Amino acid sequence: MKLNLENSIEWLYVFLFSIFLAYIGMAATMNYGLKHSFPYGFSASDAFGEIAYTEGIIDSGNHKFLPYYIRAGFTDNVPFHMPIFNHIAALFSLASGLPVWDSLLFIGYLFSIVGVLVMYIIIREFNRNIALISLPLSIFLYIGNFRIVYTWGSWDVVMATALLLSSVWALNKLELKFSCVLFAVLASGAALTHITEAFFLFAFTAVFLVLKAIRKRLELSEMKNLILAVILALLFSFYYLIIFKVGYAAGGVDTKIAYQAPEWFDVIISHFGLFRLVIFAGAIISLLLFLTKNYSTALLLGLFMLLIGYTNITPSFAPRALQTRYFWPIYLSVFLGVLVYFTLKPLIKFCHLRSKALFERNWKTAYSIFISLILAVSITYGYYQKSASSGIVTEYHWRSLLWIRDNTPKDAKILFFYGDPYTQEAVLWNQKRVSYRISMDDFVNAIKERKIKREYNVEVAAADDAGYLYRKSFFSFDYHVKDMNRSEFFGANDICKFNYFVFDKVSRQQALANYNLLVADRLLKSGAAEPVFNNEIVLILKNKSPRGNCIEEGSF
């Protein structure tokens, strides 16, 4: 291992830059603490779903079946979500002692930095100075819409992005002995973390090979190695790919051409502010470099992922294309480096001629670091805004969910009346009981009609994707959705059949919480229910005789 001064300065800077990213991203969101008593910073249903999936793995010890409480009570449902992210988060939680929710956030943010580092070494193979100057664009990962990925729980995509990038790096190393195994592991890792990234890798590999063949640089031995790698990757992923085929992929693909506009939470290029101009200029220079035979995987990857981000033209592919844009600060960073480097290069050459002593080779790295620092300060000062929020669930809510988890029978059916966080369904998977919510429309109508009812429209709080897929034999699957009694889970139901009732006493719309209290009062007055948990926000009543006469209908 040879580390000269130049290398040492370079890697020290990269290391410190990574720490800076951790500070403005991970640490800011986690409010500078690693361990929280509730899911701090979680702002969407998916994020809470990841907690339930990961805890399900820890509880059962594997990813063989989905927990019954997130699948409407079915105990044989096959987990069709890609498993690697949850497994890594579960292992980290067990090893570190951090709660699952903090582990998920930690791992998610960590892999955004790993992605930046892998992109750095991909660009570095082209030009070290460009790589250094490219780094600051990654600060955008934690700015505005880009940061939604972390608080909304798309951490598997973050990890898959790092694995995709490392696979692209491995693609360039196919001349090494046994590198096919490395490529296969990384590619199947990407597939089993978030399969979209494996599709991108497949498409990129095809483009990469075609361009290499055109340049007459494609060697037979590399092709053999790649074919072997693909076979190995399929072998490593085979078990899951069967499940994917009958799970997520069962709905088919809608390929009709129809532009899908980005939603308010999606990324558009203008979210880079003035740097969008830099990105476009850098992309044009990169394209020109390509056309003038200055071949580089980093340039190709940047151009490819820019294009992928704009393929939101079919209903099936658009969400994936738009999701890719959250990682443009990594993929497109090379354009920043290219533009600045090739703009300043003539100037550096000119200075070099005038004063050789000043512009020695070592200085160049320091110079790039200096430019990188200026850019990093500019982006941080101009665009970054710390926006740490504790998330959608309060500690009071979380304590009530934990109380249910610890104090109710495993087959208890829980009915949630209106509560601000409960609109995010997956929040309710975390008390580890089959839960139901009163439908919002019916709830509001009851308030308008000033009625207290015994029968409300309810909906089970379950992940109903893949039609409650279950396995009949290794290659044979079926769907419970075909034979389930839907009226038991959805629509008008007698509330007296539930074992527990959960009421929020406080809400952003207090009229809804006040109605909750009226219903709770009627239940208590009937004598059929008793309070079993009560804190500043949540009241839980136990139904003493389920299916009995628990409430008297009337008006208020």
Partner 1 sequence: MRKEVFEQLKRELPLIGAMFLILLIIIKFIFAKEELFVVLRAVAGIFWIIVIPGYFIMFYWSQELKFFERFIIGICAGTAVIGLLSYYIGLAGIHIKYHIYLLPVVLIGGGIAIGFYPKINTKI
Least distance (Å) from partner 1 to the CB of residue 157?
Answer: 14
What is the spatial distance between Cα 279 and Cα 331, in angstroms, rounded to a whole number? 11
CA 269/CA 413 separation, integer angstroms: 47
Q: Which of 23, 265, 310, 350 binds partner 1 (CB under 8 A)?
A: 23
Q: Tell me how far, at minimum, the Cβ of 455 lies from partner 1, in Å.
A: 43
Contacting partner 1 (CB under 8 A), which of 50, 55, 222, 266?
222
For residue 527, CA distances in Å to 57, 455, 494, 522, 523 come to 40, 18, 17, 9, 7
CB-based contact 166:182 (threshold 8 Å) = no
DSSP for 193-228 reads: T-HHHHHHHHHHHHHHHHHHHHTT---HHHHHHHHH
Q: Which residues on adjacent β-strands are paired with residue 492?
A: 457
547 lies in the binding site for partner 1 (CB under 8 A): no
* Burial of 545 (C-beta count, 10 Å sphere; 0-12/13-18/19+): exposed
Q: 71: Cβ–Cβ under 8 A, 6 or more apart, which residues?
A: 77, 462, 463, 468
Measured between alpha carbons, how far is 109 from 307 in angstroms, rounded to an integer? 25
The answer to whether 84 and 131 have CB atoms below 8 angstroms apart is no
Binding mask 192-221 for partner 1 (x = CB under 8 A): xx---------------------------x
Position 317 contacts partner 1 (CB under 8 A)? no
CA 80/CA 66 separation, integer angstroms:
9
Query: Which residue type does 421 have?
Result: P
Q: How many other CB atoms are there within 10 angstroms of residue 321's CB atom?
A: 21
Q: Which is nearer to partner 1, 170 or 541 (CB)?
A: 170
Instruction: List the one residue from 44, 72, 117, 201 that touches partner 1 (CB under 8 A).
Output: 117
Give the x-and-dash track for 496-515 against partner 1 (CB under 8 A). Answer: --------------------
- Does position 226 interact with partner 1 (CB under 8 A)? The reply is no
| Site string (63-82) toward partner 1, x via CB under 8 A | xx------------------
Q: Using the rule CB under 8 A, which residue among 13, 17, 30, 73 binds partner 1?
A: 30
- Residue from 6, 46, 76, 91 in contact with partner 1 (CB under 8 A): 91
Q: Would you give the binding string for partner 1 spanning residues 148-187, x where CB under 8 A is met?
A: -----------x--xx-xx--xx--xxxxxxx--x--xx-
Residue 123 as a binder of partner 1 (CB under 8 A): the answer is: no
The distance of closest approach from Cβ of residue 224 to partner 1 in the complex, given in angstroms and rounded to an integer, is 7
What are the distances in angstroms from CA 33 to CA 102, 103, 213, 339, 489? 9, 12, 51, 38, 40
* Interface residue with partner 1, options 17, 126, 236, 443 (CB under 8 A): 236
Token duo for residue 468: 């409650």
479 membership: H or E segment, kind and range: strand 476-479
Residue 509 Cβ, how far from partner 1 at the closest point, in Å? 33
| Amino acid at the residue 250 | A
Taking CB under 8 A as the rule, does residue 110 contact partner 1?
yes
Task: Assess 1 for contact with partner 1 (CB under 8 A).
Answer: yes
Measured from the CB of residue 531, what is the shortest distance to partner 1 in angstroms? 35
242 forms part of the interface with partner 1 (CB under 8 A):
no
Residue 131 is a binding residue for partner 1 (CB under 8 A): no
Is 471 among the residues that bind partner 1 (CB under 8 A)? no
Q: How far is the CB of 490 from partner 1 (least distance, A)?
A: 32
Is 474 near partner 1 (CB under 8 A)?
no
Region from 61-69, 308-316, 373-381, 471-479 binding partner 1, contact rule CB under 8 A: 61-69
Interatomic CA distance for residues 163 and 174, integer angstroms = 17
In terms of CB distance, is 161 or 516 closer to partner 1? 161
Is residue 97 packed enough to be buried (19+ CB in 10 Å), middle (13-18) or exposed (0-12)? exposed
From CA 120, how far away is CA 115, in angstroms rounded? 8
Q: Cβ of residue 221: shortest distance to partner 1, in angstroms?
A: 5
Two tokens at 61?
């010890």
Q: Residue 57, interface with partner 1 (CB under 8 A)?
A: yes
Determine, following the binding rule CB under 8 A, whether residue 98 of this chain makes contact with partner 1.
yes
User: d(Cα 534, Cα 520) in Å, to the nearest integer?
Assistant: 12
Cβ proximity to partner 1: between 65 and 403 the closer is 65
Return d(Cα 327, Cα 321) in angstroms, integer.
Answer: 11
Task: List the beta bridge partners of residue 477.
Answer: 471
| Chain positions contacting partner 1, by CB under 8 A | 1, 3, 11, 15, 19, 22-23, 27, 30-35, 57-58, 61-64, 83-85, 87-88, 90-92, 94-98, 106, 110-111, 114, 117-118, 120-121, 159, 162-163, 165-166, 169-170, 173-179, 182, 185-186, 188-190, 192-193, 221-222, 224-225, 236, 239-240
